[in-house]
């Protein structure tokens, strides 16, 4: 079912006109309400009125994660706090999250986008949806939650973790829709296998997955093991959360909610748009946000606009499944991790050297992070316990900043690679499960 045929099947000219009008309003409002953008425009002699068409968008400098950090916590909010009804936050590179504010209208817009993506995957009011994303500051769970309720599904806000209970609820309440990261879906499937629970004892039929990328092989494994149609959706909290784009049942690229977001694919060196069909970095401009809007936000994600029309009948442009990132961000069990965060923790600690190496172990279902460091304090050799103690201390400090547990491995002094110039400290290992 097409949730909003008027928008989702709008003709190209009409959509361009709608986007242009909303872009111009957004630029004017940002210039007026957010000092950061006014200064940025003034500095390069750009006036809001100079942005007349979608083509003019490229005149605006991109907004980066660093800009968000520099405007911590809420200097980019475009309305007074009393109009903000929700604050989410995304993980940051320095340990501090970057907050995002939503007005009531923003939440309505978000639910609308989600309702479209949910309907596009074939989910209706007759479905029972189990949300196995972690609730909290992370936008995934609540974004899907409101959208599913808007569609009329029975929502089970079970949150992440406790996999055996997840399976029990799936069986007892007859959940038909699973909302999670793809890796957690596969983990649930493997747990069922281990417990000898057949897929015929559950009624799942559709999965809406997001929060991290996945391969087509992984999708095929999830579909086979759980007996479902697995769709993917995309978004990031800086611009809204999930809801920017998502796959319909054709699994043929993610339909962009174009009335609310302008998605550009740009050359990461020049920040200029590349022709449709070419790979590049995704840059997003929300054009229908009140609480906090960003002009040309650099996502660092790599995708392309897919050519041709989708057989589903929607006219919206589609982005292909992400192919990677242009920075060094890692996603460990659904959590964004930057090597610089780890470096910050390690450099502040006594007894270990400044060199480190990160090893991401990709198991078939979940990945894990190993941090290798060189102890330097020879007096620790007196007592075995002191080395163990240090391992624990590093782990605890990393946990505070990253929110995940890493495996700490102490290695011999001088054994880690030294780099001249650009360091490559991350290696990926595929482990047998």
Partner 1 sequence: MFIKQLSVFLENKKGRLASLASVMARNGIDLYALSIADTTNFGILRALTNDTDKAARILREEGFMVNTTEVIAAEVDDRPGGLAKVLDVLDAGGIGVEYLYSFVRNPSDSALILFRVSDTEAAFKALTEAGVRLIGLDELSKK
Binding residues for partner 1, rule: CB under 8 A, are: 375-376, 378-384, 387-388, 409-415
Q: How far is the CB of 427 from partner 1 (least distance, A)?
A: 16
Q: How far is the CB of 330 from partner 1 (least distance, A)?
A: 21
Tokens at residue 384, please? Answer: 């075995």
Cβ proximity to partner 1: between 376 and 430 the closer is: 376
Other beta carbons within 10 Å of 350 = 8
Cβ proximity to partner 1: between 140 and 375 the closer is: 375
- Exposed / middle / buried, residue 387 (Cβ in 10 Å: 0-12, 13-18, 19+): middle
C-alpha count within 13 angstroms, C-beta hemisphere, residue 201? 13
Q: How far is the CB of 56 from partner 1 (least distance, A)?
A: 57
Tokens at residue 3, please? Answer: 């949730």
Cβ proximity to partner 1: between 208 and 352 the closer is: 352
Separation of alpha carbons 27 and 100, rounded Å? 18
Cβ proximity to partner 1: between 379 and 400 the closer is: 379
Dihedral angle of Cα 279, 285, 287, 292, to the nearest 10 degrees: 150
Q: How far is the CB of 395 from partner 1 (least distance, A)?
A: 13
DSSP assignment of 210-226 equals -SS---HHHHHHHHHHH
Region label for 146, one of left (φ > 0), alpha (ψ between -120 and 50) or beta (otherwise): alpha
Q: How far is the CB of 414 from partner 1 (least distance, A)?
A: 4
Separation of alpha carbons 323 and 321, rounded Å? 6
φ and ψ at residue 71, rounded to 5 degrees: -110, 20
Q: Tell me which residue has tokens 């049942």.
A: 249
Cβ proximity to partner 1: between 200 and 378 the closer is: 378
Cβ proximity to partner 1: between 13 and 384 the closer is: 384
Q: Per this entry, what is the length of the chain?
A: 433
DSSP state of 28: H
Closest CA to 218 of 185, 255, 195: 185
Cβ proximity to partner 1: between 157 and 353 the closer is: 353
Cβ proximity to partner 1: between 243 and 375 the closer is: 375
Cβ proximity to partner 1: between 292 and 390 the closer is: 390
- Give strand ranges (E) for 92-210: 98-103, 128-131, 154-156, 177-180, 206-209
Q: How far is the CB of 425 from partner 1 (least distance, A)?
A: 18
Q: State yes or no: cis peptide before 73, omega within 30 of 0.
A: yes
Q: How far is the CB of 413 from partner 1 (least distance, A)?
A: 5
Q: How far is the CB of 385 from partner 1 (least distance, A)?
A: 9
**Beta strand pairing call for 297-303 and 241-247:** unpaired
**Residues ≥6 apart with Cβ < 8 Å to 178:** 129, 130, 132, 170, 185, 188, 204, 206, 207, 208, 226, 228
Q: How far is the CB of 357 from partner 1 (least distance, A)?
A: 13
Cβ 147 vs Cβ 179: under 8 Å: no
Q: How far is the CB of 378 from partner 1 (least distance, A)?
A: 4
Cβ proximity to partner 1: between 2 and 416 the closer is: 416
Q: How far is the CB of 428 from partner 1 (least distance, A)?
A: 20
Cβ proximity to partner 1: between 307 and 413 the closer is: 413
């Amino acid at each position: 079912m097409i949730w909003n045929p008027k928008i989702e099947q709008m003709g190209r000219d009409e959509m361009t006109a709608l986007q242009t009008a909303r872009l111009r309003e957004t630029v004017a409002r940002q210039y007026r309400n957010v000092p950061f953008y006014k200064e940025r425009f003034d500095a390069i002699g750009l006036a809001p009125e100079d942005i007349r068409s979608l083509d003019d968008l490229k005149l605006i400098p991109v907004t980066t994660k660093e800009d968000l950090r520099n405007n911590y916590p809420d200097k980019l909010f475009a309305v007074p706090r009393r109009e903000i009804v929700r604050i989410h936050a995304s993980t940051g590179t320095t340990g501090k999250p970057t907050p995002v504010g939503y007005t009531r209208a923003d939440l309505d817009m978000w639910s609308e986008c989600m309702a479209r993506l949910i309907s596009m995957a074939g989910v209706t009011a007759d479905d029972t949806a189990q949300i196995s994303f972690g609730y909290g500051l992370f936008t995934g769970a609540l974004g899907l939650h409101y959208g599913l309720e808007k569609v009329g599904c029975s929502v089970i806000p079970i949150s992440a973790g406790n996999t055996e209970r997840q399976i029990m609820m799936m069986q007892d309440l007859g959940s038909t829709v699973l909302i999670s990261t793809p890796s957690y879906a596969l983990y649930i499937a493997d747990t069922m296998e281990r417990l000898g629970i057949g897929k015929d004892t559950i009624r799942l039929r559709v999965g809406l997955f997001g929060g991290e990328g996945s391969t087509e092989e992984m999708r095929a494994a999830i579909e086979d093991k759980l007996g479902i149609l697995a769709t993917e959706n995309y978004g990031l909290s800086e611009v809204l959360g999930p809801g920017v784009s998502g796959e319909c049942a054709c699994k043929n690229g993610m339909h962009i909610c174009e009335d609310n977001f302008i998605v550009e694919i740009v050359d990461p060196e020049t920040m200029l748009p590349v022709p449709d069909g070419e790979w590049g970095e995704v840059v997003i401009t929300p054009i229908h946000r009140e609480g906090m809007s960003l002009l040309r936000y650099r996502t660092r994600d790599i995708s392309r606009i897919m050519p041709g029309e989708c057989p589903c009948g929607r006219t919206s442009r589609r982005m292909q499944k992400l192919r990677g990132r242009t920075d060094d961000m890692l996603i460990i069990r659904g959590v964004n991790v930057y090597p610089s965060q780890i470096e910050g923790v390690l450099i502040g600690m006594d007894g270990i050297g400044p060199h480190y190496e990160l090893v991401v172990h990709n198991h078939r279902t979940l990945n894990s992070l190993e941090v290798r460091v060189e102890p330097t304090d020879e007096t620790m050799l007196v007592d075995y316990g002191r080395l163990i103690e240090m391992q624990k201390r590093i782990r605890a400090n990393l946990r505070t900043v990253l929110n995940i547990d890493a495996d700490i491995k102490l290695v011999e002094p001088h054994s880690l690679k030294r780099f001249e110039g650009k360091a490559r400290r991350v290696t990926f290992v595929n482990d047998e499960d």
